[in-house]
Chain A
C-alpha cells in the first residue's frame, strides 16, 4: 500500500513528512479540504506530552499539596523565629508576648505538669516513633534508589510513602505539643529553627522522590534521564534527614543560655 510504505520511509521523526503522509491518506479517503499545515505534528506532540504527564489523581495531588504547604509553613516559621530572636534583650516584643501567652495556656501547663504517663512521656515517645517511621522508611527508600537491593520493585517503594506521611503528621502534631509546652526556650534556641527548616527541605525532597517514582511507574521512557535525578534526590534526602535528626537531638544539649 502506497501510503503505508511512504509513511514508513518518513517515520524518522520528520514532522513535515508525517503531516504530508497523513494528509494524503485523509484526502484520499475522508476529506475534501486541506487541514491547516502542521496540524498533525502538533496533535502528535500534544499526545506525547499527555502520555508522559501522570494522570491527575486527586488524592495524590492533595497529599503533594499538603506536604508542600507543610514544608513552606515550616520554613517560614523557621525564618520568623530566627528573625525574632535578633534583639535578644527585647523581651517585650509582641512575638515574645504571644509565646508567653502560649506558655500560660492550660494545655501547656497540662503537658508540663501532668504526672500522667499520657502527657509528656507519651508525646515524646510518639515523636520518636514518628521519626523512626519517617526517617527509617525514607532511608530504606533512598538506599534502594541508590542501588541497594535492586530487585525491590519501585512500586513497593511507593507503598512506603503513606506510612512516611503518617509518621510526619504524628511528628507534626507531637512536635507542636512539645513546642506549646516550652515555647520560649525553644524559640530562643537557634537549633530549633534550623531543625524546622531542615524538616521543610526534607519534606520537599520526599514529595519530589514520590513524584519521581510515580513517573517511573507511568512513563517508563523517562527512566534513564530521571535515574540520575532520583539518585541526587536520594542522597540529598539522606543528608537532610540526618541533619534534621542531629539538630533535633542536639536541641537538648545545646540550649542557649
Chain B
C-alpha cells in the first residue's frame, strides 16, 4: 500500500477508535456518577469534623460537604451531560462543563485524607478530550491534524504512567548507588516483603507465600513494569502499540490489586475503554464510517 494511503488508513483507524473509545468512556462515566452519588450518602454519615480539604484545589471547589439538595441535582446534571454527549459528541462546551462537574463530584472523596491518586485518569481522560475534533476530516491534512490531536491525548494520559516509571528508575538507582544494604526492587525478597507488609497493613492473613516461591519471576516482572511504564508513551504515537500497551497496563493493575492490595478500579476501566481496537470489532461499521451513509453529516461545515 502506498505510504500516503497507509497513513490515511492509520489516521482513520485512530479517529474511529477514539470516537468509539470516548463513547465507552461516557458510558463508564455514567456508572461512575451513579457510584459517586451513592458514595456521597455514605460520606454524609461520617462525622462532619472529618471533612478537611487537603489542598487549595479542593478548598476552592468544596470547602464543606454540600447538602444533598445541591449534590444530587448536580450529579443529575452531569448524568444528563453524559447522556447528551453520547448522542451529540461535538458539543465541545458541554465537554468542558462535564469535566468540571466530574471534578466537583469527586472533590468530596478527596477531602477525608490523602487520596491524591484516586480518579485522576478518568478526570484527565475527560479533560484532554474537550477540544479533540469529532468532525470527520475532509482531506488528508485535516485527517493528519485529528490524528496528531489524538496522539497528544494519549500522550497526556500515558505520561502519568511514564512519570511513575521514572520514579521507580530513580528509586532503584538511588538504592543501588547510595544505600546498597537496603532492599531495592531487584532484591529477591522485595516483592514478598511488599506483599506481606501490604496484607499486614489491613491486618489480613497472608496466604500468597507460594506465589513468591520463584523470586526471579518477580525480579523479571519488575524490569518488565519499568519498561512498560517508561516506554508506554510510545503508544501515543504508534497506533499499533495501543491495544498491547492497554493490556499490559491493565495486567499491571491486576497484579497490584491481587498481590499488593493496591486497587485501582477506575484506571483499568478507563484504559479498557480507550485502548480497545474497536475497528477490529465493528468491522462493517468501520468500513463505511468515513465514506458510507451518514459520513457527510459528520464532516465540518
Are A and B part of the same complex?
A: no
